[in-house]
Amino acid sequence: MRTDTTFKRAFNDMIEIIRTLDLGEELPSENALRAQLGVSRTTVRKVLAGMAARGIIMSEAHRRIIRKQPRQKERYPKEETLAISEQVETSFMEWMLRGDACPGTEINETELARKFGVATTIIREFLNRFQKYGLIEKRQNAGWVFKGFTASFALELFEIREMFEMRSARLFATLPDGSPVWKQIQAMRAAHLELLADIDARFQDFSELDSRFHRLITAVAPNRFIESFQDVIAMVFHYHYQWNKRDERARNEVAIREHLALIEALESRNVASIDRACRLHLTSARETLLRSIMQ
């Protein structure tokens, strides 16, 4: 009943590990592999058994030798490495953002389960977790309502985002010279400059960098509620822009420049400059999102 996606992901990862080793070489211990792969030893043993069955490794008493290099086509396809619950997330987002759902649509657990080909349990679990994004609402004894990916959603989202990020950004002004954050900020600038230099080819990498940048800023003074809110923002940008590619390159380039300006302001330790740069970026991000929601 449970899918073996953990095994398949570990199997693929193991292929990469073996590629770094030579024929005839001995594999690390099960425990070492467990730590490297981030799974339990049970799964490691299953992977090793699979490798042995394929003739890639040979199990001798208490050790395993590499017999031949695995081929790339022996990897399991990406889809099979995603837990059902992760697949459901993607399916649901697509259903939502492709426009099958307008504000006020009732969400029917059974119907979704049928449509996505999964058990209702999974759908319920997903919806319960998804609730925190503020896009759906539960009604007692009667399913959920989709509230819509609307302008007011974007406005409410950005009202909170502004409070949280201004709060964190301002704190930079009081940070001592020795703080390790300044190193990370330097690295962040480098990453931005690198992406900017190659923007025509790599503009799709921005979404992840954006998330990392904003998480770095809020991390100066950790607060679990702010961090949890970052998930909301990340979700919105990740999925919304995945289905809305208009002006993507230009949009991302503008954001990168705003980030660079904010980095400079942070380093100046001048609260007024920080405020200005931060607000400028958030306003522009908000307008971009609003435009994109309105088509």
For 113, 116, 180, 217, the CA distances from 110, given in Å and listed in that order, are: 5, 10, 51, 41
Give 3-state DSSP helix, strand, coil % of the chain, rounded to 5. 70, 5, 25
Cβ 273 vs Cβ 250: under 8 Å: no
Q: Where are the alpha helices (DSSP H) in 40-198?
A: 41-53, 84-95, 109-116, 120-130, 151-171, 181-197
The interface partner of residue 53, options being its own copies, DNA, none and the CB cut-off 5 to 8 Å by kind, is none
Q: Does 207 bind DNA (CB under 7 A)?
A: no
d(C-alpha 233, C-alpha 214), whole Å:
10
The smaller minimum CB distance to its own copies, of residues 171 and 196, is found at: 171
Under rule CB under 7 A, which residues in 97-156 are in contact with DNA? 107-111, 118-122, 124-125, 140-144
Among 15, 39, 154, 220, binds DNA (CB under 7 A): 39
Q: How far apart are CA 140 and CA 148, in angstroms?
A: 20
Identified binder of its own copies from the candidate list 62, 139, 183, 224, rule CB under 8 A: 224
Q: Is 35 or 290 the residue whose CB approaches DNA more closely?
A: 35
DSSP label of 38: T
x/- map, 112-151, its own copies, by CB under 8 A: ---------x--xx--xx-xx-x------x-----x----
CA-CA distance, 261 to 244, in Å (whole number)?
26
**Conformation bin of residue 142: beta by default, left when phi > 0, alpha when psi is -120 to 50:** beta
Min dist CB 156 to its own copies, Å, is 5
Binding site for its own copies (CB under 8 A): 6, 39-40, 121, 124-125, 128-129, 131-132, 134, 141, 147, 153, 156-157, 159-160, 163-164, 167, 222-226, 228-229, 232
Binding site for DNA (CB under 7 A): 1-8, 29-32, 39-43, 45-46, 59, 62-64, 83-85, 107-111, 118-122, 124-125, 140-144
